[in-house]
Structure 1
Amino acid sequence: MVSTRTFPNLAFRRLRGQRSAGEFAAAVRRSAREIGEQVACDARYIGRVESGEIRCPNYAYERVFLHMFPGAGLADLGFSPRESVRGRGARSAADSSSPVTTPSTVSAPSAPSAPSAPSESSAPSPPTSPLLGSDTDEECDVLRRVFMTSGSTTMAAASLGLSLGGMAAAVSLPAQRRVGEAEVSAVEKAVRQIRLLDDRHGGDGLYRRASQPLRAAYALLDSGTSTRRGTADRLHAGAGELAISVGWLAHDSGRLEDARSHYAEALATARVTGDRALEAHAFCNASFLARDTGRSRESVRAAEAGQRAAQPLGSPRLMALLALREAGGRAGLGDRTGCERALGRAHTAFGRGLSAADPEWMSFFREAELEILEAQCWSALGDWSRAARHARHATRLQDPHFTRNLALYRAELTTDLAWAGLAEEAAATGHQVLDLLDQVRSSRIRTMLAGAVAVLRPLGRGSVEITDFLDRHASAGTKA
């Protein structure tokens, strides 16, 4: 019988040196990208390794660690042989090829020759997320958040109370032992309220508070007290959508690694329940995030996986948005032909009109959004005049109800106009963005506007209009 007693991994701790666990986790993620791996490493994972809780890493982490420390073996890093590990650290060959597994205890292979990592050409399986590798049990307990401090239903007493610009909203998730209609409805209401406030105010002031109902929703899932399948499925879907909404707030407020984690969690939840709609949504947002963080190839892969998940759902608008996500990724790769093809598919699907199968979260996706996403493609390809034409059209079409998007579209237009050499029009549009930033708190929009300012600054001396805008922007930055 193998002992389950754990011992600290002192060798691994020495390798970390003076870096914090978070800094070392960031180095692991960078090393993973260097060799084409995707691991969701964070400080918590490093702590579990150093405490001895993880006695042997999964295959993805093994490749990353051996890349980080050339010439070292797993034993040199303080890990136990794979064949000696029982439980979560080792699984059967069949299990190791599954994209997502629920937390469980599985016996290790009895033979010393552990199976090698599954190849892309192995037996068909659902597409692997660019955020979650096929070996994810050490990375992410599917129904437990990294920052959850308790799995009991008492966490469901958390509430969301927001007050921005005179707009107040409160969503409570009541605590009780059995999860029913009231709890599921509260989760769904939290999703709608967060989206409404984001449309009007942006993500900066909302993200931390919005994490409260997310923790509560996953605590309800973790309690496992619902006896009705329909209720459980709605709760999973609601929690997943909530994770995506909170992930978007993180994305919009510049917390990109947090956003990545939330999207990965939503994807894992979708895979557990076989929820294609949630899976498509998670891939859609993951693709957008990857594009914004310079991971263009990952953006394309995520968009393609989202399209595969969405195909049976019968929503042309969803397919159009996912095609636009693919186009954005291809533009980032400099693939003009691939981008144009994806844009063509997006326009064709969008032209088929609305459908009863369109997801509720897609209410923002109108012609204005189509235009601005195309503008971003052309700007990534350096076709600034064409980008400005589409961005200008987007600002004219946008519903003023979506205040954050109106500011976003004008920030995009300001940048495109500046690069296109239309500096005075860019300055005038930049003033309109600043008018909206009293209501909208979005690091993403401020970053976009700062990029336009950098282009306009060398031109400021020759134009009163440009100088006024640059001075106002500098003053607004001082007050922020």
Structure 2
Amino acid sequence: MDTFGEALRRARRRAGLSLDTLEARVNFSKSYISKVENGRRPGSREFAEHCDTALDASGDLVAAYEQDAVQRGPAAAGTVAFHDVYRRTFLNLGAAAAAAGVAGLAGIDLQDGAELTEADLDQLNRSVVRLRALDARHGAADLWDVAAARARGIASLLDHAEYSDQVGAALVELAGRAFMCAGWLATDAGQHDGAHASYTEALAIAGQAGSPEIQVHALSNLALHAGVQRRPRPALRYVAAAERALPAQPLGRVPAMLAMRRGRLLAMLGDVDGAKQAFTAARHTLDGDQAAPVSWLGFFGHAEIDAVEADAALDLRKPKRGAILLEESLAAYDPRFARNRCLHLVRLAKARTSAGQVDAGAHATSEALDLLDSDVASVRVGTELRLLAEQLHQHRKLPAVADVLARYRTTPYGAPA
């Protein structure tokens, strides 16, 4: 991963900004910015937040700064866990606005009686985008309740804030997206009641907003959530409902994603032919999709289809096929989505071990632990890692397995198998 200075320079140049222009936007001197970019000063968390906002970095600069802080050691990072720092950062966003009630909960500083503006909406949207970016990098174990509070705060503004009709319409859509974010983070954190409640709230808001995209998004994530809970039949009903709700205006990558989700669920039911047809349809649909992808499917592509088909292969007791698909997926997977990569590595280890490739399974486990050391905090990953450790325990006399199990026990998820 780039240092904070390197990431800052790259983001500034990508935005086409000079040092003088960035100086004016973040209220830090050009000399200070230059020294941070060149590695002569570490910068501060406040500076990282200002730059992230000014450069539309979606949390990447905050993540790079915090990673540097951890690597500099206790003097820089203190004794607070990396993901706790993120959680504290988001809890403190809008702390100065606490007196403004729901506006503070939503994450903005809105004075009593002030009208909500498009600039306020932009700030609220940045908060949601950053939560999703941090979830992609690190998982949601310590962020899900922050996301839920943000969503509730944004929804409360609908009842308690003053705003124009145009801002009100945009606020309804933003509330829907915020509840989708909260539901996704709650799913990753294993908070299934909270996840279902957030998705259901998003579905209700979609009706108020007249937004087919939010409706389809909510239904597809309800399908995902039911699948995570191993409830394939209701999940398939949600997929069918999402397909019926697709608007005439194409939603890029969504039809392919729904076909992929159908394949996974059919595999859970043991339908080999149906699953195969669905995954084939997902690939063909993706190849023929010329529409711009929706913002919430930035991670989706052939690598994701490979990974999900691999999960289906494991359900169908075809571990060798699953291992091959996961290897192909990981070779092409975007490194920014560290939590997903970690999850797929755990499943690759399971597939290899089930196929009798135990040393290779131990190696994949070690790679997953490397990502955990980089502060992935995901209950889903932790749950699957515990099951993998139980599987590897049967082979504990092998040196590679003994080593990786010993390392696993040093993680927050670890316990003697």
Would you call these one fold, judging by a TM-score over 0.5? Answer: yes
Alpha-carbon shift at residue 243 of structure 1 (Å)? 0.6
- Indicate yes or no: 2:275 matched with 1:328: no
Question: How far, CA to CA, are the matches of 1:182 and 1:413 in structure 2?
Answer: 45
Alpha-carbon shift at residue 384 of structure 1 (Å)? 1.3
Aligned length: 315
Alpha-carbon shift at residue 213 of structure 1 (Å)? 1.8
2:103 is matched with: 156
Cα 1:380–1:313, aligned 2, differ >3 Å: closer, same or farther? farther
Does the 8 A contact of 1:379 with 1:387 survive in 2? yes
Structure 1 segment 16-415 matched on structure 2, within 5 A: 154-158=101-105, 172=108, 174-175=110-111, 176-223=113-160, 225-228=162-165, 230-356=166-292, 358-415=293-350
Moved more, 394-403 or 308-317: 308-317
Counterpart of 1:424, as a letter, is D
Alpha-carbon shift at residue 347 of structure 1 (Å)? 0.8
Alpha-carbon shift at residue 295 of structure 1 (Å)? 0.9
Does the 8 A contact of 1:330 with 1:336 survive in 2? yes
Does the 8 A contact of 1:187 with 1:239 survive in 2? no
Counterpart of 1:235, as a letter, is L
Provide, for residues 330-353 of structure 1, a one-character-per-residue CA deviation record: whole Å limited to 9, x for no partner: 111112222122212211111124
Does the 8 A contact of 2:176 with 2:203 survive in 1? yes
Cα 1:173–1:325, aligned 2, differ >3 Å: closer, same or farther? farther
Unaligned runs of 5+ in 2: 1-98
Cα 1:173–1:422, aligned 2, differ >3 Å: closer, same or farther? farther
Does the 8 A contact of 1:288 with 1:325 survive in 2? yes
Question: How far, CA to CA, are the matches of 2:147 and 2:213 in structure 1?
Answer: 22
Alpha-carbon shift at residue 249 of structure 1 (Å)? 1.0
2:30 is matched with: none
**Secondary structure of 1:279 counterpart:** helix
Does the 8 A contact of 1:201 with 1:403 survive in 2? yes
Cα 1:328–1:174, aligned 2, differ >3 Å: closer, same or farther? farther
Question: How far, CA to CA, are the matches of 1:286 and 1:305 in structure 2?
Answer: 10
Question: How far, CA to CA, are the matches of 1:478 and 1:272 in structure 2?
Answer: 41
Alpha-carbon shift at residue 177 of structure 1 (Å)? 4.4
Alpha-carbon shift at residue 218 of structure 1 (Å)? 0.6
Provide, for residues 425-474 of structure 1, a one-character-per-residue CA deviation record: whole Å limited to 9, x for no partner: 1100000111111210001011112222222211222x111111122112
**Secondary structure of 1:475 counterpart:** coil
Does the 8 A contact of 2:100 with 2:109 survive in 1? no
Instruction: Tell me the TM-score normalized by structure 1.
Output: 0.62
- Indicate yes or no: 2:410 matched with 1:475: yes
Counterpart of 1:389, as a letter, is I
Alpha-carbon shift at residue 217 of structure 1 (Å)? 0.4
Alpha-carbon shift at residue 158 of structure 1 (Å)? 2.4
Alpha-carbon shift at residue 174 of structure 1 (Å)? 2.9
Provide, for residues 83-122 of structure 1, a one-character-per-residue CA deviation record: whole Å limited to 9, x for no partner: xxxxxxxxxxxxxxxxxxxxxxxxxxxxxxxxxxxxxxxx
Provide, for residues 248-287 of structure 1, a one-character-per-residue CA deviation record: whole Å limited to 9, x for no partner: 1111111111111111111111122221100111111111
Question: How far, CA to CA, are the matches of 2:309 and 2:100 in structure 1?
Answer: 45
**Secondary structure of 2:411 counterpart:** helix
Instruction: Tell me the TM-score normalized by structure 2.
Output: 0.71
Alpha-carbon shift at residue 317 of structure 1 (Å)? 1.0
Question: How far, CA to CA, are the matches of 2:245 and 2:153 in structure 1?
Answer: 28
1:423 is matched with: 358
Question: How far, CA to CA, are the matches of 2:110 and 2:260 in structure 1?
Answer: 39
Provide, for residues 110-165 of structure 1, a one-character-per-residue CA deviation record: whole Å limited to 9, x for no partner: xxxxxxxxxxxxxxxxxxxxxxxxxxxxxxxxxxxxxxxxxx97311226xxxxxx
Alpha-carbon shift at residue 209 of structure 1 (Å)? 2.0
Does the 8 A contact of 1:190 with 1:242 survive in 2? no
Does the 8 A contact of 2:116 with 2:163 survive in 1? yes
Does the 8 A contact of 1:316 with 1:349 survive in 2? no
Provide, for residues 49-83 of structure 1, a one-character-per-residue CA deviation record: whole Å limited to 9, x for no partner: xxxxxxxxxxxxxxxxxxxxxxxxxxxxxxxxxxx
Counterpart of 1:405, as a letter, is N
Cα 1:250–1:410, aligned 2, differ >3 Å: closer, same or farther? same
Counterpart of 2:126, as a letter, is K
1:66 is matched with: none
What value does the CA root-mean-square deviation take over the aligned residues?
2.0
Aligned-residue sequence identity (percent) comes to 29
Unaligned runs of 5+ in 1: 1-151, 160-170
- Indicate yes or no: 2:384 matched with 1:444: no
Question: How far, CA to CA, are the matches of 1:478 and 1:317 in structure 2?
Answer: 35
Does the 8 A contact of 1:240 with 1:267 survive in 2? yes
Question: How far, CA to CA, are the matches of 2:320 and 2:134 in structure 1?
Answer: 33
Alpha-carbon shift at residue 240 of structure 1 (Å)? 0.8
Task: Identify, as 1 or 2, the structure richer in helix.
Answer: 2
Counterpart of 2:330, as a letter, is T
Counterpart of 1:431, as a letter, is S
Question: How far, CA to CA, are the matches of 1:366 and 1:172 in structure 2?
Answer: 35
Question: How far, CA to CA, are the matches of 2:192 and 2:177 in structure 1?
Answer: 18
Question: How far, CA to CA, are the matches of 1:381 and 1:247 in structure 2?
Answer: 29
